[in-house]
Amino acid sequence: MPKPTDVSLARRQVPPLRFWISSFCLAGELRFLEKASAISSGGASGVSLALYHWTGLPLGFWTFVVKILILVLVWRVLGRRQLLWTVVSATLGSLLIFLAELVPFHPLPLYLAFPMILLFSYLPSALLLSCGYSSGGFSSIALILEKRGVPTAATFSALNALSLVLMFLAYGKVSGILSLAAMLFAGASNWIWLTLFRKYLRHFPPAPARGATA
């Protein structure tokens, strides 16, 4: 039996388990690592963290707003089913972040938080990309450009410039420098996780599609 491709996975009636797991991973990583330490790994999270800092509104709220705005910009390119599940992912992830913010948490020291952000910040988005979906953030743009031959590493590196500027302005020099280091590693981190997921998770056969359309 041939291994399923990212496209065939994205055309399933219901996304695979990794689609749902990624939302929990994303919420935990943003709440307990990036928000708690004021370090952004880039992408939509940096924009959301800066807006949270300036307004005091929940991080989950701003995560949802930023992702929906991105989806408005790219909705014509995504297929209807893919767009539907991207909206579901963005909504679920934002809701989980909002709930996680209600949990009291003492921030980890930077010498622990920073390497964990380097290692795990792009695990959720790579997990989604590996099955042909995105979380509705900058990964949506990366998914579209990848179909046109642009490597995801290059896309994420380019889009992180805005997040970096906002982190410097919102949280100061230390957060800005650490965010810069995390963003410089972002492209490699996303590529590593994406390669691993595409290589090993394809051993799980997809459920048969039931009239799904792109």
Mean pLDDT across the stretch 37-56? 91
Give this prediction's pTM.
Answer: 0.78
Distance CA 135, CA 48 (A): 14
Cβ neighbours for 66, distance < 8 A, ≥ 6 positions apart? 44, 47, 48, 51, 137
First-last CA distance in the chain? 23
Cβ neighbours for 162, distance < 8 A, ≥ 6 positions apart? 46, 47
Write down the mean pLDDT value for the chain: 81
Residues in the chain: 214
142 or 33, which is more confident: 33
Q: Percent of the chain at pLDDT above 90?
A: 36
**Closest Cα to residue 66, out of 155, 139, 121, 154?**
139
**Closest Cα to residue 146, out of 160, 156, 161, 159?**
156
Task: Check: CB of residue 129 under 8 Å from CB of residue 83.
Answer: no
Task: Check: CB of residue 43 under 8 Å from CB of residue 138.
Answer: yes
Distance CA 89, CA 213 (A): 19
